A and B are shown apart, each in its own frame.
Chain A
Amino acid sequence: MFSQLFINGLIAGAIYALVASGFSLIYSTCKFIHFAHGAVVAVTAYILYLFFSLLGLNFWLAVILTIIFAGFFGWLINKILYKKLRKRKASNVILLIASVGLLILLESLILLFFGADVKTIGFIKIAKGLEFLGAIITPLQIVIIISSFVLLFLLFFFTKKSKIGKAMRAVADNRDVAEIVGISAEKMFSWSFIIGSAIAGIAGILVGLEQNLEPTMGTNLIIKGFTGAIIGGIGSVPGAILGSFLLGFSENFGIWFLPSGYKDAIAFIILFVFLLARPQGILGRKK
């Protein structure tokens, strides 16, 4: 049973990590909590459903279009909502409230356009998973786990090596100094939204295939992704991914011993423990 629970934890952790990484990337640059990130994941999952199941496009074409759409959608959110608010010198609390409002708005729009019932993308046939060291895992779940690891490395190199990544870190570190040396902070905010949301697009596709689509899926995802990001260190993308896996493991191993109704309780107890004992998270830096 251990190996199966380990795999279960790995799958759950990978899903949380997919959500947490984009969320954390946006937070680290823009320094506010973009709760609507969960709804962006949900919207992109529905967009894939629209392209693939309703319009009948080729699956891989639909996937690429969905990821492009997700990046564009993130850029649009930043441009028409957050940028306007920042221009008016809105505080981070106001941005946070706006993001919660946007989360609810987007979920309601999904409900309006697609209805309340669960949707399936239906690209993968349900079958018995593959045996792997005494545990069972489906090919899609392997893709999910690999994707989250690949993202971890790509994001790491992106922020450390690429020009935009470095500029984003500069803005994150000290906005004023970055602007003095000629980096446009607004431009970096846009980039962080485009990249963060494109990752949300990947998350939306994989989660949509694995867990199917519901209008309220975004809230559930962002709660767990947010918890993972806090545990790992909210400003740090690798930390967020690490925290997400830790969360996935503790939830699934926890209910090995405890009644399974305590699954969510375990997640939030860990959140509180971290907030009290190590608020900067595993990989976060102390201010």
Chain B
Amino acid sequence: MSKTLQTIIWIVIIVVIIGVIWYIASRKPAEEEAIKIGAILPLTGKAASYGESAKVALDLALEEINKQGGINGRNIELIYEDSQGQPQMGVSAANKLITLDKINIILGPVMSSVTLAVAPIVEGNKVILMTISSAPDITYAGDYVFRNREKTTQQSEKMADFIFKILEIKEIATLYMNDDTGKAHHSTLVENFEKLGGEVLISETYNPGAVDFRTQLTKIKAVNPEVIHLASKPKDVGMILKQAKELAIEAQFVGTSGSEGEEVIELAGEAAEGLVYSVPSGDITKPGVAEFYEKYQEKHEKGYVEVGALFYDSLKIITMLMKECENPIDTNCLKEKLYQIKDYQGASGKTSFDEYGDATKTVILKTIKNGQFVPYEE
């Protein structure tokens, strides 16, 4: 590179930096200070597609809330922090939000491991955390920790019933992801299925990030089960179904809510047809649900609309309660009111919170038909 070219590039860079500073400095301050709410999401890294889906839904909810006048005239402002899906990044994000931005409410994180790492921090600072992670331990993570998501056991019970009573199959195989979520879904399913009198022939696992499931599937194929249960996430479900088809496995596949995502169809194509899975609500005949789905898909075609719906409801519930409290950021008042939420009808179906701060939701069965996720009909 010649000297003059370098000088020109430096001048351009400096001009751009000055321009950006000028722009930030010249923006008008808000008329009345906005109420800040933090959101810790995996915006980059392996789980980034969940984070993106959550962000789209949160922005949607935020826009609506502020258009309707915010909280008694004060706007809501969301501050996003990236956890990269990693506990240590989540912890520093939570510390930053609490100490620097002085926020009182945090939405997220998505990953269970991050939620469990962040929980003690919010508990100590009396900050409300509204997560959507599914690990069972989160139930006891703290008084200020809420989970706007069905309990894992709700899904497992439904699925065990389905396999045993409706499909009338007594012997199954399982394949699950070796992380908090996968293990929780797997163990509760096995427990429920064995309680009904069924038998699990073989349980195989894989580590997060794996792309080659052939050996696990070969071992499963050797015991020849009629049903294979997957506790996994969309990307892996897609790859598993593809490789199972290539290996000529003809068993019925069933799964958890981690089976819903465009990636399943994109990766597995026709091999995804007929997969039956449990999912919290998503019943689009209910008010609010279809409306949200439409609005969401307008903004973000490929994301996880279920994840979006949970975050959308989380923000809506919190801001609804803020209006009821004398001081909208009084976390004691918000906490007490959250425990009393019963049958809130939102974008993710009906939501109630129990005494541990866990939500109870309606769980339904869905299947994949002609490349679409549709409610399962017997």
A118→B266 contact, CB < 8 A = yes
CB-CB under 8 A from B219, the residues of chain A are 1, 255-256, 260
User: Which residues does chain A contribute within 8 Å of B215, judged by CB atoms?
Assistant: 5, 8, 251-252, 255-256, 260, 263
In the complex, A258 Cα to B85 Cα: how many Å? Answer: 29
- A108-132 vs B, CB cutoff 8 Å, 1 = contact: the mask equals 1001000111101000011111000
Asked if B178 CB lies within 8 Å of chain A CBs, one says yes
Contact status B205-A260, CB under 8 Å: yes
Contact with B along A182-213 (1 / 0, CB 8 A): 00000000000000000000000000000110
Any A CB within 8 A of the CB of B316: no
In the complex, what residues of B have CB within 8 A of residue A211's CB?
211-212, 239
Main secondary structure of the interface of B (DSSP, over half): helix
**A4 at interface, CB cutoff 8 A:** yes
Q: Does B2 contact A (CB under 8 A)?
A: no
Q: Is B345 an interface residue (CB 8 A)?
A: no
| A126 and B268 form a contact (CB under 8 A) | yes
Q: Check A117–B262 contact: CB distance below 8 A.
A: yes
Q: Which residues of A contact B48 (CB under 8 A)?
A: 111, 116
Stretch at the interface among B3-11, B124-132, B243-251: B243-251
Residues of B contacting A212 in the complex (Cβ-Cβ under 8 angstroms): 211, 239, 267
A58 at the interface (CB under 8 A from B): no
CB-CB under 8 A from B239, the residues of chain A are 211-212
Tally of chain A residues near chain B (CB < 8 A) = 35
Q: Which residues in A have their C-beta under 8 angstroms from that of B44?
A: 108, 111, 116
Q: Given A11-B214, A118-B267, A256-B219, is A263 in contact with B246 using a C-beta cutoff of 8 Å? A: no
Selected contact of B242 from candidates A11, A126, A214, A255, CB within 8 Å: A126
Residues from 245 to 268 in A contacting B, C-beta threshold 8 Å? 251-252, 255-256, 259-261, 263-264
Contact A4 B248 (CB under 8 A): no
List of B residues within 8 angstroms of A143 by Cβ: none
Asked whether A117 lies within 8 Å of B49 as measured between CB atoms, the reply is yes
With a CB–CB cut-off of 8 A, which chain A residues contact B216?
255, 260
What's the Cα separation between A151 and B178 when bound, in Å? Answer: 35
Residues of B near A136 (CB, < 8 A) are 246-248
The 8 A CB mask of B252-268 against A (1 = contact, 0 = none) is 00000000001100111
Contact B207 A264, beta carbon cutoff 8 Å: yes
A127 touches B245 (CB 8 A): yes
Asked whether any CB of chain A lies closer than 8 Å to the CB of B306, the reply is no
Q: Which residues of A contact B218 (CB under 8 A)?
A: 1, 4-5, 8
A263 and B206 contact, CB distance less than 8 A: yes
Residue interface mask B216-241, A partner, CB < 8 A = 1 = 10110110000000000001001100
Question: Roughly how many angstroms separate A4 CA and B268 CA in the complex, as a whole number?
Answer: 21
Contact digits for B185-220, partner A, Cβ 8 Å, 1 yes 0 no: 000000000000000000011110111101110110
> Contact between A261 and B271 (Cβ–Cβ < 8 Å)?
no
Can you list 9 A-B pairs, Cβ within 8 angstroms, ordered by A?
Answer: A4-B221, A111-B44, A116-B44, A117-B262, A118-B266, A126-B245, A211-B212, A251-B215, A261-B206
A contacts, CB < 8 Å to B: 1, 4-5, 8, 11-12, 108, 111, 115-118, 120, 125-129, 136, 138, 211-212, 214, 216-217, 220, 251-252, 255-256, 259-261, 263-264
Q: Report B's interface with A, CB cutoff 8 A.
A: 44-46, 48-49, 52, 178, 204-207, 209-212, 214-216, 218-219, 221-222, 235, 238-239, 242, 245-248, 262-263, 266-271, 302
What 12 additional pairs, Cβ within 8 angstroms, besides A125-B269, A260-B204, A261-B178?
A: A4-B218, A4-B221, A5-B215, A5-B218, A8-B218, A115-B52, A126-B246, A128-B245, A136-B246, A252-B215, A255-B219, A259-B204
Q: List 6 A-B pairs, minimum CB-CB distance, nearest first.
A: A116-B48, A211-B211, A8-B214, A261-B205, A129-B246, A252-B215
